[in-house]
Amino acid sequence: MIREAREEDILEIQFIRNAVLENRLSDPSRVTDEDVRDYILERGKGWVYEYDGFIVGFAIGDLQDANIWALFILPEMEGKGIGRHLHDNMIQWMFDQGLTTIWLSTAPGTRAESFYRKAGWKEIKRTEQGEIYFELYTPIR
């Protein structure tokens, strides 16, 4: 089940963010609880995926920067379609808010890179840090 993220979900969101095997934060203290709160309540919106009463994945879209700020799933729940459900829900909401282009960056050679390519994201360039910079455009209606 997907629902909007709430402030009381931040602890579980942080747990998932730090449990991932790829695209790990080199310094987990760089993303604070206040950062997460700001992104889900002020800058954009977040969603969580619940399974058997537990949050197993989350996505956060940043309207201010037209950016996918986060999309992470517990490693043991990967490959079950949870990420795609969260992704599709998030990008539909972002386009519904009037955005025409959304961007994100991710490390090359990761499952995330493959996921975004399959979801229709277009590689635009490599960042100075060596990440792939992707864009996704509003579907023609």
Q: What is the pLDDT of residues 12-61, one digit of tens each?
A: 999 998 887 776 666 667 789 999 999 999 999 999 999 999 999 999 99
Q: How far apart are CA 114 and CA 110, in angstroms?
A: 7
pLDDT in tens, 38-47: 999 999 999 9
- What CA–CA distance (Å, rounded) separates 94 from 104? 13
- Domains defined along the chain, listed by start: 2-137 (3.40.630.30)
Report the side by side order of strands in the sheet with 67-73. Answer: 2-4, 44-51, 54-62, 67-73, 101-106, 132-137, 122-126
Per-residue confidence (pLDDT) for residue 82, from 0 to 100: 96
